[in-house]
Amino acid sequence: MNYYIADTHLGHDNIRRMSNRPFDTVEEMDKTIINNWNSRVTDHDDIYILGDFSYKCEDPISYLEQLKGRKHLIIGNHDNKLLKNPNCRNYFVEIVDLKTGRNHSARKTDKGKENAAVTDSTY
């Protein structure tokens, strides 16, 4: 199965206020995101992270180790610190600026073709 997620901003305390996220602490937000992710995604699923995985996070690997799935990162403007850590790259199947393709999990049209094309770039 393919899954898509964007702007998790793990470790980013101010995103709670800026985006009106309903959490009292960044730890509560991060734990909820991780639990929700892992309740749906299996280790055999592909998950496309559409930018801004973490921000102002001292240890992004601690998040990557907890999350299930084969992770594909489409780089966002807040992913610079994550990408500066060469060890983080080992947790991703791919890291790209732009991703295009077909969502083969999409429902078929009456002509038997996938009805969803996917293109993402955060720039």
Q: What CATH number is associated with residue 63?
A: 3.60.21.10
Instruction: Give the angle 102-106-107 at the CA atoms, nearest 5°.
Output: 135
Range of the domain at 20: 2-121
Residues 74 and 4 sit within 8 Å (Cβ to Cβ): no
Say what the pTM is: 0.81
Question: Mind listing the pLDDT tens digit for each residue in 97-107?
Answer: 877 766 655 55
CA atoms within 13 A on the CB side of 32: 12
Alpha helices in 13-54 (DSSP H): 15-18, 26-40
At residue 117, does pLDDT exceed 60?
Answer: no
Q: Is the pLDDT of residue 108 over 60?
A: no
Q: Could you give the count of Cα atoms lying within 13 Å of 119 in the half-sphere of its Cβ?
A: 1
Tokens found for residue 121? 């770039």
Q: How far apart are CA 117 and CA 29, in angstroms?
A: 31
What's the structural domain count of the chain?
1
Instruction: Give the model confidence (pLDDT) of 6-61 as tens digits.
Output: 999 999 998 899 999 999 999 999 999 999 999 999 999 999 999 899 988 888 99
